[in-house]
Structure 1
């Protein structure tokens, strides 16, 4: 983002003069007061962060703090998840642990188009202390045992992110019930597959999911007999198949608190026992269950802790991403291990503008004002585009001031300096969109664009720790150091794992490439999971153990290692398509280049090897598309605009310009596109819960359009 030609020269000159005087006045005290050992952000960024322990450019690469050996646990002698939580309870018994907002009222609101949305007004957060949570965990685990749940026998949780989810999980960890996690957005066949494969007899769920999804598949899951509903008000008016018993969470805790049940001895887990079988939402095919041991999770959160400094009980984390995803589960486990408090939210109530928040009332983030937050790039991209739309709607003077301040801060960050006055005067209102107290923002699930990362650094006045990890690596892989303000990279390996590059001949990537070694990323260490549940063939394909006995996972992602030891994701094996003329196209690269175009909310590039060009499916940004239609003097309803050939051609022209600016090759640029009327959400089944594209489902969904764009129809 740079200043445009229409800005007033006088305003620019005055601003530059003020900035020059301020810099001169503040720089002298900075030099005098600065301690000899302190370093600027730019000096920190140039540090060596990881290096090859073998001297080979292929690696393995380790964090410089772990050159003598990989770290496996947070505290000596604490090697299971129940021990981690009990340690926090003993250190922070009266500190706030889990918080939920009180529901004050709920009402229907009719929109201009006639659609009716349910809106809520929420009160303050109500908190449970660590001691209170521990009592609930103990009672619930005891109650599950009284209902017939056995140690080392799988139990499922199919529920939205909320305090009850983590209470149930901690109870399962304490009583050694392997926890099968299922995304709340999965369809019926995928849910039934997971429950049957894991041979589940007990499931923990919510009232909404019971009625909308579970109830319809009971007949397909013959082993299931106990359903525990986490909501307070449980309606039993519905009819369920014979053999299915419905319990409230409260009644199970009451059962567990009875003396005859509470006094029964537990069967605590050991570090090698399975803690979680995490069913992925799956960007391709049927969901796979990843077996994760207690030691895997503890190793992963140990690595993450090293990249989130100064975690204290005063920190507040906002939990709203799916807890069935390894990113959210790991982040919350890190917080619980350090006595932080977790306030729960949802994407529908997160901000003041969220879909379920009644106009004029406050969203969760404004009330909670967190200091820690995790997000997937899709959410950050939305924030970026929404703020920039607001900037476009400012008066000329306000827009000029904002852009000047933005560019000034970008220059200062590049030199390694902070801008406290600029933050207070210009970016305070933008920062308030995320509560105003955020000090660490973690990004994961997919690559974050450089433009969005820089925007978050500047406008929200906090570092963005971009990370890379997979369910199979227990979320551990890399996280950028918080003082490293470079963009487009995912940081150095965590202290719990190491990275290696494997040559991919077909794609043209080699560890001997200059200036940076490149290849398929392999992740090894104690955080690498046990493999896929009941799928030895796929496990042997993707996992292996080296001569030293260390476990490795082959990610399928292509990366390059920079001179300071940081990783950059540059491609994916499954995203590479060979066109008819022999050119290789990386679909992920094309999508990343076009996703920051203001007209694009989401995009999927597609190519058929029998054809000579790329096509694309685009979810357009509504405000931008309506503005484009007005300029083209095209009128109509939203669906009519998306299906209008004139609008389609105009969007394609804008995308082509963006692709050329991003220096894509001509053969990589989509030649035809299809505009989507509906956005892609996990509920549509076209993206995963972390908003990764489901290419197989998208291909099926747009099959007629593919044939049309390739001339078959």
Structure 2
């Protein structure tokens, strides 16, 4: 059968199966899945060569020049210059004894040497395994030992940690330092005493430069490109085995969509800001598209607090980020508008509402873009063509805000480590909020029933169920854990995502729930904490929220991080005194009034009574990657948060049971 939706979302589907929706494919490519570009570019190295040719003598990799500790302009290496460096470096790695399809660890924040190492590994068919501090010592041990890693390419500041762990990492023999000028003498000496060979990145290049002839085997599509260990919120990390073909499929899909005017078109004139962790597939896929098209990539300084300064200097044309940052921008801008009040607030609201009423036609307005939104747009450099959000769902309000205030197309993508981000993507000029679009050209979609949560493919008016994805971007397996692989990919090749989706009347996917993060309260109500947190976090007083429920308890409690500036302003208006943010968080009266405020907001946004928190603990200690409360892709680690705030949670529940909680 063929299921027809209104254009442009017509999708081709297979026969229906009980308990499942029909299989969906992208309307532009409904007859076949896209797994390569033109029959030749089937590996990541082939994609790089294409981009190198397209970029030519144009800028490729850029970093900021530092003078007396102050960041100045961006300094660039061209595509031609970088290719010479990559090929010399790749040959140098081979000289050191690294063998085909052996693991190379990369342990650093984003920098040009990260990207050059990545491309060198693709050239030689080495396997990239990214490492990062928030894995923790036990997970680092597990990963390094599981893949029998002998080489780590790292930034100088990571050498100390590698030496510290060396006793538990017997396979590590060689550490290559990207920024060798920053190596501390004591760290290098300690590494050598621990039996590690410490080399400089440029030294490896020089080693390879002396090789004029080499015998090497080109990478094959089914060779492993990377083993990407999930930063999951619980348990031992699992290594998703991603082949070259898996990586190429979503990048090919993005290119196809751009060529068909279904997505923004990227070319060699674009400039991309690289700051999301390259250890994870969202940034790897996003950067891969720009590498393929010969675009320029500018790197942040390594400090997210300086990111907006880097953006102002780089003035990128493309900006990929995650909801956490968009939420912060949203909160800050609206709080600033509210603080100004008067004519400024009236003008902003008038402009905002007029643009919102016409979002189905355009993100631009001939007057308001210049008069009202110019200063907001300048926060991202002033020449953004499009914005892409990934990693987690973005609230519809924030999506509308980004389109209106930045006068740019805003796309939302959906995918997972296990399919190299090749899930769904919103379509150009469709400014509907709350959806994640239609399947990538490389992916098939269907929903399967989840009876215990009352989600079924037969639901009216729209089918609902667990999202399943199949296609050439799906990982080969979890490394050395076949039981986990079998739980995630079924015998027909479908990836079971754990996300609950809905297919609307136009054939678009909407994420509505998460199968794994659901729990019951004592009365039997199912709770989806991420949904509730998403509502609360739209309020200007809430920077971050952790909603907790116990199956033995009848209600929810919350650990909230207030927005510091908004909290102080609100407290002053409430007559709660001139105190520091930390002092306000400790005040019982502040907590009582704060809870009333966010509860009223939750009610306005359709939270049911049992979905509202009944007690709150306020802290100015942010949930962060650095304190292990967030994954590197900024998802809340619920089990960690529960352990950290166990005492406060117990205190709130005791108060509720004794009738002393805030109402």
Q: Give the alignment's TM-score, normalised by structure 2.
A: 0.93
The Cα offsets for residues 603-639 of structure 1, whole Å up to 9 and x where unpaired, read as 1111111111111111111012212332242454433
Contact 1:50–1:492 (8 Å) recurs in 2 = no
Aligned mates of 2:607, 2:264 — CA distance in 1: 38
The aligned residue for residue 266 of structure 2 is: 311
- Report deviation, 1:480: 0.3
CA contact (8 A) 2:499 2:515 kept: yes
Aligned to 1:65: 28
Match of 2:202 in 1: 250
Matched, 1:633 2:599: no
Q: CA 1:427–1:654 in structure 2 vs 1: closer, same or farther (change >3 Å)?
A: same
C-alpha displacement at 1:690, in angstroms? 1.4
Determine the structure 2 residue equivalent to 1:665.
608
Contact 2:629–2:636 (CA<8 Å) still a contact in 1? yes
- The match for 2:542 is 600
- Does residue 1:540 correspond to 2:486, yes or no? yes
Matched, 1:687 2:649: no
Q: CA deviation at 1:439?
A: 0.7
Q: Quote how far apart the aligned CAs of 1:74 are.
A: 2.2
Give 1:33-432 correspondences, 5 Å limit: 47-54=7-14, 56=16, 58-106=21-69, 121-211=70-160, 213-233=161-181, 234-238=183-187, 239-240=190-191, 241-259=193-211, 262-305=212-255, 306=257, 307-346=262-301, 348=303, 355-356=305-306, 363-394=309-340, 396-414=342-360, 418-432=364-378
Q: Deviations over 1:425-458 (max 9, x none)?
A: 2211111110111011000000001111000000
Shift of 1:55: 5.4
Distance 2:10 2:440 in 1: 9
1:253 and 1:539 map into 2 onto residues whose CA distance is: 38
Q: Superposition pairs for residues 501-540 of structure 1, below 5 Å?
A: 501-540=447-486
Query: What CA distance in whole angstroms lies between the structure 1 residues aligned with 2:445 and 2:251?
Result: 17
1:271 deviates by: 0.3
Structure 1 Cα separation of the partners of residues 26 and 357 of structure 2: 29
For 1:6, the equivalent position in structure 2 comes to: none
Paired residues of 1:304 and 1:479 also in contact (CA < 8 A): no
Is the contact between residue 55 and residue 295 of structure 2 (CA under 8 Å) also seen in structure 1? no
Determine which of 579, 587, 598 is the counterpart of 2:521.
579
Secondary structure at the aligned position of 1:500 is classed as strand
Cα pair distance change 1:528/1:417, threshold 3 Å: closer
CA distance in 1, matches of 2:67, 2:49: 34
Q: Aligned partners of 1:97 and 1:243: how far apart in 2?
A: 37
Give the 3 Å change call, closer, same or farther, for CA 433–417 of structure 1 in structure 2.
closer
For residues 556 and 639 of structure 1, the distance between their equivalents in structure 2, rounded to whole angstroms, comes to 38
**Counterpart Cα distance in 1 of 2:86 and 2:75:** 18
Counterpart CA distance in 2 for 1:356 and 1:463 is 25
1:496-533 alpha-carbon deviations (Å, 9 max, x no partner): 10111010000000000011100000011000011211
Where 2:497 maps in the other structure, the secondary structure is strand
**Cα 1:50–1:156, aligned 2, differ >3 Å: closer, same or farther?**
farther
Displacement after TM superposition at 1:48 (Å): 3.5
- Unmatched 5+ stretches in structure 1: 1-44, 107-120, 350-354
Q: Residue 285 and residue 427 in structure 1: after superposition, are their counterparts in 2 closer, same or farther (change >3 A)?
A: same
The equivalent of 1:620 in structure 2 is 562
- State the shift of 1:202 in Å: 0.3
* Superposed displacement of residue 646, structure 1: 1.5
Q: CA deviation at 1:314?
A: 0.7
* Cα distance in structure 2, aligned partners of 1:92 and 1:74: 18
Q: Residue 219 of structure 2 aligns to a residue in which SS?
A: coil
Write the distance in 2 (CA, Å) between the matches of 1:321 and 1:622.
Answer: 25
CA–CA distance in structure 1, aligned partners of residues 547 and 184 of structure 2: 46
2:593 is the alignment partner of 1:650: yes
1:683-710, Cα deviation, whole Å (9 max, x unpaired)? 1100111111111111111111121122
